[in-house]
Chains A and B, each alone.
Chain A
């Protein structure tokens, strides 16, 4: 059997790479790793960095990953790539923001906007009703 690996690189939004390769180099959390066929099973998280893919008879391919998870089985390698930039405090900030938005929505900060939209909808409904009324009269 030829010494090859099957590599899948997927992100939440799309599949980035799928195919047979001869080696993969990834920016693992504890330092860069190079993976050749028959590597020992490994699971590690990734740092943001460059994923280098070596293919036989083809030029090397580079993919940027902004973190994620790397799973290695002897002949199958899976990279679950993040599309977003992740960091504990950044996530936290975003969570706070989401809470804030909920509070704002409840306190009716965007009340003006909602009211304007409601008014527009009301006007449209009233217009439709008038229309129907007119139609009815006409039939009589």
Chain B
């Protein structure tokens, strides 16, 4: 049986830990709300952009931008993997990495090489140890991500696709379903598949300045960037939600632990008192 004093210090230290996890939980909750707002603020841009691209693609069917061309033979594929910078957020990163590894394995079995583009410190630390050629990397973006921090990283992959050194580009991210659920998702970024949308059937005879090619190139680049940017913002929301849940369960566990220790402490205290009394009684009887 552990001594009284020992248990008392243990209880104090767990209480301290609980204070920290509670604070982290509350911080994550407020940050999550902000991240969710930012997440919904990014939506109009890509929607509007998709509309414009749709209009252009319909009005201008004869010009094929490199991003729209499907490469027939696949020798090398690219993955953009979005992860968090910091840990203590449950299984969020690991789940995304598992999904990524599974997709990568499928390609590797077909004898296809893999290029990686990593966003977030956790992804870099993880994939350093795995096969796959890391082309570009960006981390320590903070809670408020700006698109200019991502441009260079994404460009390396887009250029690789244009040059033909990769034949497909995938995005691995966490989807924010709700506070309790974040789902890893692997989606295809390139080639862009034109969606047939009834609303877009009506086409305009546009004037292009300077010309269609330049405009389309700028548009598509920004479109891909905005998709990746969105997923990074979404990932921040996921991170905060996951951290909130993880910290909540940590606080709960600490509470349980304190309860158990308190019980052990009381028992030890009582045992000591009982022992003392019986010693006194025994001593008195002997006299």
Contacts and interface: CB of A to CB of B under 8 A. Distances in A.
A29 B42 contact: no
A73 B87 CA distance: 48
Given A71-B52, A95-B159, A102-B136, A44 B152 contact: no
A41 B136 contact: no
B48 A106 contact: no
B244 interface: no
Given A102-B136, A138-B2, A80 B45 contact: yes
Contact of B134 (A11, A92, A105): A105
Interface in B113-137: 117-118, 124-125, 128, 134-137
A58 interface: no
A84 B138 contact: no
Nearest to B225: A12
Of listed A85, A92, A135, residue having the most chain B CB within 10 A = A135
Interface stretch (B65-73, B167-175, B178-186, B204-212): B204-212
Contact of B215 (A69, A99, A137): A69
B219 interface: yes
A114 interface: yes
Nearest to B52: A71
B218 A84 contact: no
Interface in A82-121: 82-86, 91-99, 101-102, 105-106, 114, 121
A80 B215 contact: no
Contact of B151 (A11, A30, A42, A84): A84
A13 interface: yes
A30 B209 contact: yes
Contacts of B125: 114
Contacts of B209: 28-30, 42-45
Contact of B136 (A28, A80, A101): A101
Contact of A138 (B48, B159, B264): B264
Given A41-B207, A43-B52, A73-B204, A10 B44 contact: yes
Given A95-B156, A102-B135, A138-B1, A69 B52 contact: yes
Of listed A92, A101, A135, residue having the most chain B CB within 10 A = A101
The number of chain A residues touching the other chain, given as a range, is 35 or more
B153 interface: yes
Contact of A85 (B138, B148, B212, B225): B148
A101 B207 contact: no
A43 B215 contact: yes
Interface in B141-159: 146-148, 151-153, 155-156, 159
Nearest to A83: B147
Nearest to A11: B45
A60 interface: no
A123 B204 CA distance: 65
B263 to A, nearest CB: 10
Contacts of B137: 98, 101-102, 105
A78 B225 CA distance: 19
Ranked nearest first, the 5 interchain pairs of A and B with the lowest CB-CB distance are A94-B152, A84-B148, A44-B209, A98-B136, A41-B204
Given A12-B42, A105-B134, 8 more contacts: A12-B222, A41-B205, A41-B207, A43-B212, A84-B151, A85-B148, A98-B155, A98-B156
